[in-house]
Amino acid sequence: MDFKTTKLLHGGDYNPEQWLGRPDILKQDIAMLKESGCNVVSLGIFSWSTLEPEEGVFCLDWLADVIDQLYENGISVILATPSGARPKWLGDKYPEVLRVNADRHRNLFGGRHNHCYTSPVYREKVARINRKLSERFGHHPGVILWHISNELGGDCHCPLCQDAFQQWLRDKYGTIEELNRRWSTTFWSHTYQSFEQIESPSPRGEMGLHALNLDWKRFVTDRTADFLRCEVQAVREGGSELPITANLMYYFQGLDYFRLAKELDIVTWDSYPTWHKQELIETAYDTGMCHDLMRSLKGGKPFFQMESCPSSTNWQSVSKLKKPGVLFAQSMQAIAHGGEGALYFQIRQSRGASEKFHGAVIDHYGGSDTRVFREVCQVGETLQRLSELAGSTVKSPAAILYDWDSQWAMNDSQGPRNDGLHYHETLLKIYRGFRRQGVNVDLVDMGCALEGYRVLVLPMVYMFKEGFAEKVRAFVEQGGQLVTTYWSGIADDTDRCYLGGTPHGLMDVLGIRSTEVDGLYDWEENELVPVAENELGLSRTYRCKYLCDLPELRGAKTLMTYGRDFYAGYPVLTEHGYGKGTAWYVAADAEREFYADFLKLVLKRAGVPETVCGEIPDGLEVTTREKDGVRYYLYQNFGTRPVRVPLPAALVEALYGDPDAELAVCQLMVLKEMIQAAE
Ligand code: GLA
Ligand code: ZN
């Protein structure tokens, strides 16, 4: 079921079980939540030992009281299931619930996320408390959403998980011969005689069988999804039909989020950018791309920022305060990229234990006369003014391929550059190229539909899963503009290299074959030199580093050539018409200005209209959302000085800010344009 809200959400994690003996604190917190325009809190995230202090003894009255008081004051609740950390009695009585690490040692009790997703006992105990919570609170008018566990992640290598892995492999491959074939086990004499012999990867044993590593990661995602399903099932058995979410993490590599998101009604994520490590706009691109990924996980359905820090975290290497305006800018960016809310970790700072110095809306001092609290109030007030944005969606003409399986396999592959493939930086350069034009971008995986996009980029898509090349071919045939880079289409679903030339299945679409790849030392560079009067009108020379692929022409035209080394004069950027579309091949890791200039020309070729009139100044982010025949333009200044914003071509009215004035650093402007009712 879909999650719908008529207002933008503002609030955060709240853990009142820490001060149950202080009703005055709850009163004060509620007053401050109201004062700061907070309309929602996440409750119960790590409350298991308070909810069930002894096995089978449930104490839910305190929670009922908190939910009631919040509700009476207009504050809704996102109710968590407590499985993220377990009570001591559970670990003591049933040691099987504790996780076994890759070294095959069982952990002692402690920490969080320290449990086995397979353990029937753990599943049963979690299901029991979930049912209780659902029975008691599932129909409370103040509860709006279930928050399953917390930041699901990690793997368990216990005997139960090994059995489950073997069964998963049996289901996938049918016979051990088929597994041996797909995993290339004859290499280094790794052939298995039976599924029972297979063990999860371990630093004490097998780590070099890439297909084993890959399937283990897939299994871990499936196991986690299965655990999540059990949690949800118990919530449903308790009678609640409310939508569910799980809070995801920044580009987390431990789980395939496209797969996991299928189990969720709404995606939410925890955003902790290190704002002052580099220029604000660089962090804004990185964070913006993550918002776009999260939005794309469920094909553009609503999502929101579940956590962010009101001041500084206590777990990053340096606890840097957010400078004035930055909390506001981060919160507004969560909305600008399509989110339905901006929430924090945490509402009130804990007094003791490991997060006592983590920033909060209400700090140890406890008053509302703090810099942070004032900024939180400003966020709250602004979100109220922008509430008509709730439910509006983002339409993207461009998509970048982002696939977990492909990244897992590529990162494990050994070569062509073990010193760093710079994948994330490459993505960011491409992303920035689109965003400099104010173009919205989706991030899609190989399972996503491609129809509807005008431009598709495949950056280092090492793995082409079965059927993917055909899908891309159809995209270009029907008029899509495709950009493919070096190190794409190299291996299949089980990380076996394709025979007969790469990029596999797309050589005729791109009109090239990749012949060899040169890994460059960190200090080496080459360059992309424009061919005189090339099709796109590229005129500058750009630098490239790290990886240089040498494509052989098979019908494509050369637009740029390498400037140095023995391959000076070889093609480095090619173009090939295919069907109604065009396919470009970028053979080297080009500097970001190349992508900015090149993608601008590709967008033009694709007929994507300009978002706004005139150049977008450096540091300015422009995004759009649409709803009920209205397009909203959201401008955010992540630059270093005030700027005048380039306006849309059509007539607009201001919803927030003044289009005739300069936009100050960290500030927001929102304009509205009437468009045809969205089809
Ligand atoms: C994560 C967790 C929270 C908290 C914060 C601290 O996002 O979900 O419980 O630990 O980190 O930044
Ligand atoms: Zn286990």
Tens of pLDDT, residue by residue over 578-613, are 999 999 999 999 999 999 999 999 999 999 999 999
How many Å lie between the centroid of ligand 2 and the Cα of residue 314? 30
DSSP state of 519: E
230-252 confidence digits (pLDDT tens)? 999 999 999 999 999 999 999 99
Give dist(CA 615, CA 436) in Å, integer. 9
What is the average pLDDT value for the chain, to the nearest integer? 97
DSSP labels, 94-109: -GGGB-B-TTSPBPPS
Q: Are 113 and 153 in contact (CB under 8 A)?
A: yes
Q: Is the CB of 14 under 6 A from ligand 1?
A: no
Spans of all domains in the chain? 9-157+211-389, 160-208, 398-606, 620-674
Give dist(CA 391, CA 339) in Å, integer. 9
How many Å lie between the centroid of ligand 1 and the Cα of residue 355? 9
Ligand nearest to the CA of 308: 1
Best mutation site among 42, 45, 150 for ligand 1 pocket (most ligand atoms within 8 Å of CB): 150
Using pLDDT thresholds of 50, 70 and 90, give the confidence band for residue 652.
confident
Q: To which H or E segment does residue 134 belong?
A: helix 120-137
pLDDT, mean of residues 68-96: 97
Give the count of beta carbons closer than 10 Å to the beta carbon of residue 650. 12
At residue 676, the pLDDT reads 74
Fold classification of 620-674 is Immunoglobulin-like (2.60.40)
Beta strands in 461-500 (DSSP E): 481-485
Using pLDDT thresholds of 50, 70 and 90, give the confidence band for residue 623.
very high
Active site residues: 151, 307
Q: Are 590 and 549 in contact (CB under 8 A)?
A: no
How many Å lie between the centroid of ligand 2 and the Cα of residue 99? 6
Nearest to 657 by CA among 620, 629, 627: 620
Give the count of beta carbons closer than 10 Å to the beta carbon of residue 99. 21
Q: Among the atoms of ligand 1, which is closest to the Cα of residue 45?
A: 9
Helix, strand, coil shares, percent, the chain, to 5: 35, 20, 45
Q: Are 21 and 51 in contact (CB under 8 A)?
A: no
At residue 679, the pLDDT reads 47
Q: Is the CB of 313 under 6 A from ligand 1?
A: yes
Q: Are 215 and 173 in contact (CB under 8 A)?
A: no
Cα–chain center distance at 481:
25
Residue 678: pLDDT over 60: no
At residue 300, the pLDDT reads 96
Give the count of beta carbons closer than 10 Å to the beta carbon of residue 614. 10
Give the side-chain half-sphere CA count within 13 A for 77.
29
- For ligand 1, atom 4: residue with the closest CA: 345
Using pLDDT thresholds of 50, 70 and 90, give the confidence band for residue 677.
low
pLDDT, mean of residues 39-50: 98
pLDDT, mean of residues 375-392: 98
Fold classification of 9-157+211-389 is TIM Barrel (3.20.20)
Cα 508–415–544 angle (5° rounding)? Answer: 70
At residue 192, the pLDDT reads 98
How many Å lie between the centroid of ligand 2 and the Cα of residue 222? 13
pLDDT, mean of residues 364-390: 98
Using pLDDT thresholds of 50, 70 and 90, give the confidence band for residue 204.
very high
Q: Is the CB of 621 under 6 A from ligand 1?
A: no
pLDDT, mean of residues 353-378: 98
Give dist(CA 671, CA 564) in Å, integer. 48
Phi, psi of 420, rounded to the nearest 5 degrees: 125, 125
Question: How large is the greatest C-alpha to C-alpha distance in the chain, in angstroms?
Answer: 79
Fold classification of 398-606 is Rossmann fold (3.40.50)
Q: Is the CB of 344 under 6 A from ligand 1?
A: no
Give dist(CA 653, CA 410) in Å, integer. 48
